[in-house]
A = this chain, B = another copy of it.
């Protein structure tokens, strides 16, 4: 079993050193409590609600800046993995919405968010590379960021490449939901985990930032899709969300004697990406009352 903690907290907009220092304090407490893999929110270093790209650029750092170098040092010192979002400087234009994966004794691995949510496309440069899958002493760890989780193609990719755990720094804006329902983002994390038989740890943030209220729904889901740990959705507060996960379960893709979530894929019948986006709808008539 591997102890995983999501440190759900409230980074403050633009206060990079203070945010990183607070993440390090929380990391120390998580490790003291037994965590070996610790996940932080999207844009932990900088906060999220930038007015524009210039404001984001002012909070951006390169990989050798304060945020990633301090996280690397802490991961090495405590012999535990850190996954944390940061605003990454880009000398060619708008910054990247990135996450660093710090494995003790290794160089930082950087993933840049590919699917930019809403007005993020006016603030950041999208990533162009698949999620990394990195061998560690606990198993193979991958990283995606927030809205990336909403695209099944993007979770299939690291799962098919052998990821045992997908860590996802997120900032989920709060939206209305029917009484008694979990946030849709949590439901989709459960589904993505179980359809791929891979564990997912999503670390959300909390608090209010300019006009945005955050969902505060950090969740750690096992390879069966069950939420082993879920933040207290009523409190909506800073919280360390912790679960013990048997990561080797992600190596078993079987559902039954004959069924296997990967072997049962009918790749011979699936369309190439983009192929079917504009295919004409099959129809026996020209009527279309909804158009």
Contacts and interface: CB of A to CB of B under 8 A. Distances in A.
A153 B251 contact: no
Given A247-B290, A289-B139, A282 B133 contact: yes
A191 interface: yes
A161 B226 contact: no
B152 A281 contact: no
A206 B21 CA distance: 56
A64 interface: no
A114 B152 contact: no
A257 B173 CA distance: 14
B274 A195 contact: no
A261 B160 contact: no
Contact of A281 (B162, B184, B287, B290): B162
A266 B114 contact: yes
A194 interface: yes
A103 B120 CA distance: 44
Interface string A264-291: 1111111111101101011111011111
B187 A137 contact: no
A139 to B, nearest CB: 5
A259 B188 contact: no
A279 B152 contact: no
A160 B272 contact: no
B287 A137 contact: yes
Contacts of A153: 152, 265-266, 270-271
B187 A115 contact: no
Given A134-B282, A195-B151, A267-B277, A118 B184 contact: no
Contacts of A264: 115-116, 147, 151
A115 B269 CA distance: 11
Contacts of A256: 117-118
A128 interface: yes
